[in-house]
Homo-oligomer: A and B are copies of this chain.
Amino acid sequence: MKILDGKKISNDIKDEIAAEVAQMKERGEKVPHLAAVLVGNDGASLTYVGSKVRSCKKIGFESTLIQLPEETTEETLLQKVQELNANPEIDGYIVQLPLPKHIDEQKVLMAVDPDKDVDGFHPVNFGKMALDMESFISATPFGIMELLKRYDVDTEGKNVVVIGRSHIVGRPISILMSQKGKAANSTVTLTHSRTKNIQELTQQADIIVSALGVPEFLKAEMVKEGAVIIDVGITRVADDSREKGYYITGDVDFDNVSKKASFITPVPGGVGPMTIAMLLKNTLLARERHRANKES
């Protein structure tokens, strides 16, 4: 059994990006600039955005945090989005979700310039991804693909079972892994709440990607010997015996499933840390594409 160490790989990626940024600076080029828009005071969102901004600083990116009050109107937010679209200093930006209930999230995401949409949430980026065109792939599926590539996991012709059909994980990873190319060319089955024979399917799977959000859903008896296990679930489970009052767990019964798996991602330290690294990677790509477009 080998751990797919997302923490290590994400640090490798950040180091690679930092080296590229250092070279950009040496050449006197503009460095990538990521902006993040945060509306309201949601604690978890503040933590996420703060961590993204800190990561930018660490690797040499410019970053801008735009904090707007909870009562910001949709109109004001859309105006801010237009400003960011028009600002040539900004290479990419994210609008941290969830937005307050009085704002139409879809409307806001649709207003983001697809060329600055480093979250990959705009339908045109999703469509390009699905049609195998150059795009921004959203961080979680992009991170899973990168993990598989870096560990040289053999995916070609393998039977992959994806659990969960969410727009941000299950759907895109099911598309990416069934396309041509590296870490892909798999035969993918996408399962969800209406799937009747989930255990039968997982037992036959060479690779399982679980993005369900149900703690320890995937048990050892559901997995075949030698399977590759990608755990995208992250759930807080209340536990008074811990200092924080909870612990973090994934969709996989790690202790037992890891005994049968050939590769497995831990939670935490697997897919999670990859997401920030891939957001930074997308911002670097955005910078490079903007430069290329200007030159051409």
Question: Given A178-B190, A190-B188, A196-B157: A130 and B130 within 8 A (CB)?
Answer: yes
A157 to chain B, nearest CB (A): 4
Q: CA–CA, A125 to B106, complex, Å?
A: 15
**Other-chain residue from B125, B128, B187 in contact with A196 (beta carbon distance below 8 A):** B187
**Other-chain residue from B165, B175, B201 in contact with A171 (beta carbon distance below 8 A):** B175
Chain B contacts for A190, CB-based, 8 A: 174, 178, 187-188
**Other-chain residue from B124, B156, B175 in contact with A194 (beta carbon distance below 8 A):** B156
* A201 x B175 contact (CB < 8 A): no
* A128 x B127 contact (CB < 8 A): yes
Cβ of A191 under 8 Å from chain B: yes
Per-residue B-contact encoding for A109-147, CB less than 8 Å = 1, 0 else:
000000000000011111111111101000000000000
Cβ of A179 under 8 Å from chain B: yes
Cβ of A296 under 8 Å from chain B: no
Cβ of A67 under 8 Å from chain B: no
Cβ of A64 under 8 Å from chain B: no
Q: Which residue of B lies closest to A165 (CB)?
A: B178
Cβ of A192 under 8 Å from chain B: yes
Q: CA–CA, A272 to B124, complex, Å?
A: 28
For window 188-246 of A, CB contacts with B under 8 Å fall at: 188-192, 194-197, 201
Chain B contacts for A187, CB-based, 8 A: 189-192, 194-197, 201
Chain B contacts for A185, CB-based, 8 A: 192, 194
Q: CA–CA, A136 to B195, complex, Å?
A: 27
Q: Which residue of B lies closest to A171 (CB)?
A: B130
Cβ of A159 under 8 Å from chain B: yes
A177 to chain B, nearest CB (A): 10
Question: Which of A132, A178, A195 neighbours the largest number of chain B CB atoms within 10 Å of its CB?
Answer: A178
A137 to chain B, nearest CB (A): 12
Question: Given A124-B127, A179-B165: A189 and B192 within 8 A (CB)?
Answer: no
Q: CA–CA, A195 to B187, complex, Å?
A: 6
Cβ of A57 under 8 Å from chain B: no
Known: A123-B135, A187-B190. 18 other contacts (CB 8 A): A123-B131, A127-B127, A127-B130, A130-B130, A132-B167, A157-B196, A165-B178, A165-B179, A171-B175, A174-B190, A178-B190, A185-B194, A187-B191, A187-B194, A187-B196, A187-B197, A188-B189, A188-B190
By Cβ-Cβ distance, the 4 closest A-B pairs, closest first, are A127-B127, A123-B127, A126-B127, A189-B189
- 8 of the cross-chain contacts (CB-CB < 8 Å) are A106-B133, A122-B127, A123-B131, A165-B178, A165-B179, A171-B175, A187-B201, A189-B189
Give the interface of A toward B (CB within 8 A): 106, 122-133, 135, 156-157, 159, 165, 167, 171, 174-175, 178-179, 185-192, 194-197, 201
